[in-house]
Structure 1
Amino acid sequence: MSNKAALYHERTKHRFTGYAKGPDTLDWDLQPNPFRTFEGAARVDLPLAPEQLPPAPALTRDAVGALLHLSMGLSAWKQFGPDRWALRCNPSSGNLHPTEAYVLAEGVAGLDDGLFHYLPRDHALEQRRRDESEQKSDSPCLWIGLSSIHWREAWKYGERAFRYCQLDLGHALGAFSYAAAALGWRAQLVEGLGSAQISALLGLDRAEDFGRSENEDPDALLQIFPAIDGDGARAPALKTGVWTGHANLLDRWPMYRWPVIGEVAEATLGAVAAEPGEPNARAQGESALSAELILQRRSAQHFDARHVMPAEEFFAILESVMAQPRAPWTVWNFAPRVHPILFVHRVAGVEPGLYALPRGGKSLALLRQSLDPDFVWSRVAGAPESLPLYLLKIGDARGAARRLFCNQAIASDCCFGMAMLAEFDAVEQNPWRYRGLHWEAGLIGQALYLEAERFGLRGTGVGCFFDDETHEFIGLKSGALQTVYHFTLGGPLTDSRIATEPAYPDKQRAKATSP
């Protein structure tokens, strides 16, 4: 590994001998503001998603409200003693939420043409730019822009934070894909769009509007189509108009600086692009989730170490992470480059041990030649023919999983955990792929979260793991594969001491009393 992205990855590995560089102390009373606002920008209030989603709604303000509620909105408030915090539909490392969402609207009923910032705290849009043209487009168009505020993660996690921001971006892409599918829509990543173009479209390059406030890194642009099929995504034209609003300062007294994060961010900027020769995996039929299921997603804090999940649920959840023509995989054209290694503990009819799930292309051959030569590589009896699940080694892996997942009990108490191996040759060829590999891992994580909810289970993403020790445990010698994300899934235990409150009490109360 030679380029800056690969060097950053090596530098930020956790090891048995020491963790990646991070802050020596945390003062939770000085945590950065979890909500970016643009002071002075006009507000547009949004309605919440209805419990029963209408089929294929048109692009309107109300439908945009439902899309944002189910993707980036709050799902609840939690309180324990004097501490109160918000949960959101999109997961985030440490519940820190570095990902910001923007709306670009053309001809959308109920919205001015222009750019808006989404404020999840209030479920409202802040109007950043109103386009000069007063004539509405006959063909409504909607785009979602995504950016990252790296300091939100770096405040707690130090140099490793850039990894977590990219994983969160993958979760956000998945959240929009699932939310769009629930509305009968489709979300698709705009390809060939450079970072500078995204920055200009979202107003992130307007230094006069940010001042001393924390910058936002341009990540991605999605086009939202009011149908599951249709043409490929395109970028909107760069418009002129009246700009309003100034970004708030999230952290007035930052205690640390992590220059390597800015360096790797700069080194991995580039255009989103599918690899040449990839098949176009557009939707042929979505398996939509209900609004209720999307809004109930939670990250498990503890697992019931006695819970045994049925094999059919295990296989169904694993099938959901395979690239296929349904949400969330229709969000892009990337060839699968992230492949789970599973630590199976308690699945009825499936022997405890290590398993591999090569997700496509030449990944089976790559994994077989890269991992421990003593692995057996036998297909799992009873698994669907379409699921390439392979037994590597039978045995109790609970202790090893716990140790490798930074000594966390969730790794041994879950029904199964996984380490996601990414093909790092892509990073050597194009440093932007470092972001893309983490997005793919985050997208896998989002599928696991929501599919677990279908069966009354819970998942939780794990960003803290020992990188090279995981590689050593599975016999990986080459740097061509690197673990980028871990995940656990099982029967959750609920802490009854933590109170749950409505996400938007005023809006929900008004909704409940409306005729």
Structure 2
Amino acid sequence: MTATDLELVHAYHRASKHQPERYAPGPGGLDWANQPDPFRVFAGTRSIDLPLGADAQTLSFDRVRAGARPAPAPVDLAHLGVLLELALGLAAWKSVGEARWALRCNPSSGNLHPTECYLITDPRPGLPGGVWHYVSRDHRLEHRAHDVQAHPPASLDTPLVLALTSIQWREAWKYGLRAYRYCQLDLGHALGALAYAAAVLGWRVGVLPWGDAELAHRLGLDRPGDFDPGQGEAPDLALWVGPQAPAAGDLARLAATGRTFAGRANRLSDDPRPWPGIATVAAACERPTGVQPGGGSAREASAQWPPQGPNPSPLSAADLIRQRRSAQAFDGTTPLSAGRWFAILDALLPRPGVPPLDAWGGRPRVHLALFVHRVTDIAPGLYLLARDTAALPALRAGLHKDWRWDPVPGAPAQLPLFALTLGDARAAARQLACHQEIAADSAFAVGMLADFDGALAAGPWCYRELFWECGLLGQVLYLEAEAAGVRGTGIGCFFDDAMHQLLGISDTRWQSLYHFTVGTPVDDPRLQSAPPYDHRAPTAGTRSA
């Protein structure tokens, strides 16, 4: 870490802010002929079709959100199929006229899906050891690298490693310089999706302190001949997944680099035009080896919160996960009950063993400013949820001195929720969200405030992690909204400094990194829906690509 790296992060953050008088640098229009392929595949690899088993998962979402897990499933091919189907697989195909596109269980900015997933494992029944790449379109694994040295088969309770990467060009094609932020938000959503899916199987997820360079080497991302120029992948995060954390010997074996790689990545676009500023901030944010993501070496709940309040849903976790959608419009009239609102907010507090926040380490560094429009028995206005009570003095000092900080009548005693000022907040929410009606027509909208300077003091790579935490919270909001019978949507376009001015933030101590909104959706009657995997053969098998 150098002072220059920190300066580069701050410079990127300033340059990538939207302002009311100008948007962050972008393409200015969409080059549809050059739109990136949303699916990465590696030609010349052996591939295995994964079983589709999510329909058989009956554990209720009520139990998952409360931290209940079934007896751990075997870590085998069938259950890996369930994990990836529920976390990163397709949820449906949508079409309007001749246009057709896929929706996935993990949300993405602009549905562009920069996040790719790899699996590193010892041999398992039906699955040779090595490095595998997941293709969500066909729900299959590609054998990217095999172990040179033979290893004994892993026992079926031995965890494996999942790694997440980003194809930054997929986002930059549409969003330009700000795309780096969106890649990180998508990574946080993917982490949350994996943690929820793992809980359905009785498994857990934890982050590993693998540096970017070593992760790139283990996945073969540092092999330039395997990717077209400008269309490679950035290493982001390595996770262990299974019934318990891996033993040191198991992890050392999975971290080995004595593997032979195969395959070449498909060309995503004929003419990628990377933004130099993205490469600059990515280099400045490179994480070294041995640094635990999340700001700590162990999981730390900021408080021993009591069990979270109920948000009842009749759906299984698998069904609720697969029905999640991003709302495109809200009706602007239907209120959300106060009980549901409190339950949604309560689910954002970290509790040991409760997914998906148990997958993340360290104290919360992101808190919520809330624009309340239509919540029964809650006065419209601006509110704040402190996800760590220890952060309250800094929040009070960093925001307007004349905010009220009144407790909210009827709120659960454990919920650090405060009314800052009362009144109609719809116009402010709309204007701040780049004039988007979804921020005002909802029941409530959210601006996520990150402990910006405090996090960056630990290293410039924490810039990425703040967005990951925001995306993780966004995934909670998505599923909690579905459980409440409403719908959410992430908002990446907002006027950064205008939000800060509203709150009274005059420096970089606190920064708004992500917005979100929840309400009653208005469906587009033109949209047609088709099942996600009807194009697949009915049985799983092995083939070559």
From 19, 34, 58, the equivalent of 2:74 is: 58
1:217 aligns with 2:234: yes
Q: Which residue of 2 aligns with 1:308?
A: 335
Deviation of 1:49 (Å):
2.6
Compared with structure 1, are the counterparts of its residues 175 and 431 closer, same or farther at alpha carbon in structure 2 (3 Å cutoff)? same
Q: Which residue of 1 aligns with 2:64?
A: none
1:424 aligns with 2:486: no
1:114-143, Cα deviation, whole Å (9 max, x unpaired): 110000011000110111344423443311
What does 1:205-354 correspond to in 2, within 5 Å? Answer: 205-212=222-229, 214-226=231-243, 234=251, 236-254=254-272, 256-271=273-288, 272-273=291-292, 274-276=294-296, 279-280=299-300, 290-325=317-352, 326-354=354-382
Compared with structure 1, are the counterparts of its residues 258 and 279 closer, same or farther at alpha carbon in structure 2 (3 Å cutoff)? closer
Compared with structure 1, are the counterparts of its residues 97 and 363 closer, same or farther at alpha carbon in structure 2 (3 Å cutoff)? same
Q: Which residue of 2 aligns with 1:38?
A: 42
SS in structure 2 opposite 1:413?
A: coil
Between 1:285-294 and 1:426-435, the stretch displaced more is 285-294
SS in structure 2 opposite 1:303?
A: coil
Kindly indicate whether the alpha-carbon contact (under 8 Å) linking 1:102 and 1:146 is maintained by their aligned counterparts in 2: yes
From 16, 22, 31, the equivalent of 2:20 is: 16
Kindly indicate whether the alpha-carbon contact (under 8 Å) linking 1:107 and 1:141 is maintained by their aligned counterparts in 2: no
**CA distance, structure 2, for counterparts of residue 105 and residue 257 of structure 1:** 33
Kindly indicate whether the alpha-carbon contact (under 8 Å) linking 1:49 and 1:291 is maintained by their aligned counterparts in 2: no
Deviation of 1:334 (Å):
2.2
Kindly indicate whether the alpha-carbon contact (under 8 Å) linking 2:51 and 2:539 is maintained by their aligned counterparts in 1: no
**CA distance, structure 2, for counterparts of residue 231 and residue 384 of structure 1:** 40
Q: Which residue of 2 aligns with 1:378?
A: 406
SS in structure 1 opposite 2:56?
A: coil
In the alignment, structure 2 segments of 5+ residues that lack a partner are 59-69, 541-545
Q: Which residue of 2 aligns with 1:158?
A: 176
1:456 aligns with 2:485: yes
Compared with structure 1, are the counterparts of its residues 500 and 277 closer, same or farther at alpha carbon in structure 2 (3 Å cutoff)? closer
Kindly indicate whether the alpha-carbon contact (under 8 Å) linking 1:90 and 1:175 is maintained by their aligned counterparts in 2: yes
Between 1:234-243 and 1:405-414, the stretch displaced more is 234-243
**CA distance, structure 1, for counterparts of residue 390 and residue 19 of structure 2:** 30
Compared with structure 1, are the counterparts of its residues 299 and 8 closer, same or farther at alpha carbon in structure 2 (3 Å cutoff)? same
TM-score by length of 1: 0.94
Kindly indicate whether the alpha-carbon contact (under 8 Å) linking 2:297 and 2:362 is maintained by their aligned counterparts in 1: no
Deviation of 1:29 (Å):
3.9
Kindly indicate whether the alpha-carbon contact (under 8 Å) linking 1:108 and 1:141 is maintained by their aligned counterparts in 2: no
Kindly indicate whether the alpha-carbon contact (under 8 Å) linking 1:59 and 1:109 is maintained by their aligned counterparts in 2: no
**CA distance, structure 2, for counterparts of residue 419 and residue 237 of structure 1:** 38
TM-score by length of 2: 0.89
Deviation of 1:50 (Å):
3.0
Between 1:338-347 and 1:50-59, the stretch displaced more is 50-59
1:455-514, Cα deviation, whole Å (9 max, x unpaired): 111100000000000111111112210000000001111111100011101449679xxx
Q: Which residue of 1 aligns with 2:32?
A: 28
From 390, 395, 406, the equivalent of 1:367 is: 395
SS in structure 1 opposite 2:121?
A: strand
Deviation of 1:285 (Å):
10
One-letter code aligned to 1:152: R
One-letter code aligned to 1:423: D
One-letter code aligned to 1:437: L
**CA distance, structure 2, for counterparts of residue 253 and residue 237 of structure 1:** 35
Between 1:480-489 and 1:358-367, the stretch displaced more is 358-367
**CA distance, structure 2, for counterparts of residue 370 and residue 167 of structure 1:** 24
Q: Which residue of 2 aligns with 1:167?
A: 185
**CA distance, structure 2, for counterparts of residue 26 and residue 277 of structure 1:** 43
1:181 aligns with 2:210: no
**CA distance, structure 2, for counterparts of residue 147 and residue 473 of structure 1:** 35
Kindly indicate whether the alpha-carbon contact (under 8 Å) linking 1:190 and 1:234 is maintained by their aligned counterparts in 2: no
One-letter code aligned to 2:363: A
In the alignment, structure 1 segments of 5+ residues that lack a partner are none
Q: Runs of 4+ in structure 1 displaced over 3 angstroms?
A: 137-141, 229-235, 274-289, 506-511
1:191-247, Cα deviation, whole Å (9 max, x unpaired): 2x11111111111111222243611000000101225x8879956231423321101
Kindly indicate whether the alpha-carbon contact (under 8 Å) linking 1:154 and 1:258 is maintained by their aligned counterparts in 2: yes
**CA distance, structure 2, for counterparts of residue 168 and residue 388 of structure 1:** 27
What does 1:21-170 correspond to in 2, within 5 Å? Answer: 21-53=25-57, 55=70, 56-139=72-155, 140-170=158-188
How many residues are aligned here? 508
**CA distance, structure 1, for counterparts of residue 494 and residue 236 of structure 2:** 25
Compared with structure 1, are the counterparts of its residues 12 and 371 closer, same or farther at alpha carbon in structure 2 (3 Å cutoff)? same
Kindly indicate whether the alpha-carbon contact (under 8 Å) linking 2:131 and 2:146 is maintained by their aligned counterparts in 1: yes
Q: Which residue of 1 aligns with 2:523?
A: 494
Indicate the RMSD between aligned Cα atoms, in angstroms: 2.4
Q: Which residue of 2 aligns with 1:202?
A: 219
**CA distance, structure 2, for counterparts of residue 456 and residue 507 of structure 1:** 31
